[in-house]
Structure 1
Amino acid sequence: MTTWEYLTAPLMIHNTAAILNNWGKQGWELVQVVTGPEGGLVGYFKRPADAGAGQANTGLSAAAEASRQFEGQ
């Protein structure tokens, strides 16, 4: 039986494709996008629990960098 791990993350509108592509390269599958409690978009992802073994979390790094750029830092 497949076991899953999950990730929820905010999606920056101006850099969504790059962020989603990075997560996809790590084996994350986008399951759903919903409006977050403060109005932004939140992505829900899943991947088999053993898919991320030995991989850096470049998708999260890309999201953090996009956030810094958006905020002008």
Structure 2
Amino acid sequence: MTRWEYVTVPLLIHATKAILDQWGADGWELVQVVPGPGDGLVAYLKRPKES
């Protein structure tokens, strides 16, 4: 059974792609983006936990 770890990341509108590309390069998969505080967004990411 796969075990997952999760992280929430605030996204800056003008740098969304760069932020997601960096997390993706570290093995994180985007699950969802939701409205955050103010005009911001929050990304929820997951990746398999290392054994």
Give the TM-score of the pair, scaled to structure 2: 0.89
One-letter amino acid of the counterpart of residue 36, structure 1: G
One-letter amino acid of the counterpart of residue 20, structure 1: L
Shift of 1:36: 1.5
* Distance across 1 between alignment mates of 2:6 and 2:19: 16
- What is aligned with 1:17? 17
Gaps of 5+ in 2: none
> Which is bigger in relative contact order (C-alpha 8 A, separation at least 6)?
2
Indicate the SS of the match to 2:14.
helix
Indicate the SS of the match to 2:34.
strand
Give the paired residue count: 50
Q: What does 1:1-40 align with in structure 2 at a 5 Å threshold?
A: 1-40=1-40
* Distance across 1 between alignment mates of 2:38 and 2:17: 22
Q: What does 1:58-69 align with in structure 2 at a 5 Å threshold?
A: none
Q: Percent identity?
A: 66
Higher helix share: 1
Give the TM-score of the pair, scaled to structure 1: 0.64
Gaps of 5+ in 1: 51-73
Shift of 1:42: 0.3
Regions of 4+ moved over 2 Å: none
